């Protein structure tokens, strides 16, 4: 089985480094790139062709809610996990409306991010696009 291609988008270099490390220790994943804001993600994603994008909510230039629909338009089969400090349940509806498939709080990165990625990528036998 080919490793899933992961693209990490966050304006915080320490967070990008943490997420990269979390994915690098799993043979099912390969981190193929990073971006510091949504605009850069939209520019890089068609070139990198990720299977999964870990997308921060709050970023300069273009935030995650603005970037998600553009990324899905460019890559209709990509999975998006919104990675955020904000744990507000009411926001989940908004995130779903813009195409986000899952939300993982940054405070739970070590325990939730990889299982959520595996669930999206490996538990879904087929996907309606």
Mind listing the pLDDT tens digit for each residue in 33-83? 999 999 999 999 999 999 999 999 889 999 988 999 999 999 999 999 998
Contact 17, 54 (CB under 8 A): no
Higher pLDDT, residue 102 or 41 = 41
Architecture of domain 7-58: 3-Layer(aba) Sandwich (3.40)
d(CA 94, CA 3): 30
CA 53 to chain CA mean position, Å: 3
Q: In a 3-state reduction of DSSP, which class is residue 93?
A: helix
The encoded tokens of residue 111 equal 């325990």
- Rounded to two decimals, the pTM is 0.90
Domains in the chain: boundaries: 7-58
């Amino acid at each position: 089985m080919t490793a899933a291609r992961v693209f990490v988008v966050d304006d915080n270099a320490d967070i990008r480094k943490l997420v990269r490390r979390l994915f690098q220790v799993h043979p099912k994943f390969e981190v193929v790139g990073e971006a510091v804001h949504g605009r850069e993600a939209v520019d890089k994603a068609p070139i990198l062709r990720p299977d999964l994008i870990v997308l921060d909510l709050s970023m300069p230039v273009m935030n995650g809610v603005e970037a998600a629909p553009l990324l899905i338009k460019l890559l209709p089969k990509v999975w998006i996990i919104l990675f955020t400090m904000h744990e507000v349940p009411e926001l989940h509806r908004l995130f779903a409306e813009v195409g986000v498939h899952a939300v993982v709080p940054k405070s739970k990165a070590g325990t939730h991010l990889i299982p959520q990625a595996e669930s999206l990528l490996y538990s879904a036998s087929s996907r309606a696009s």
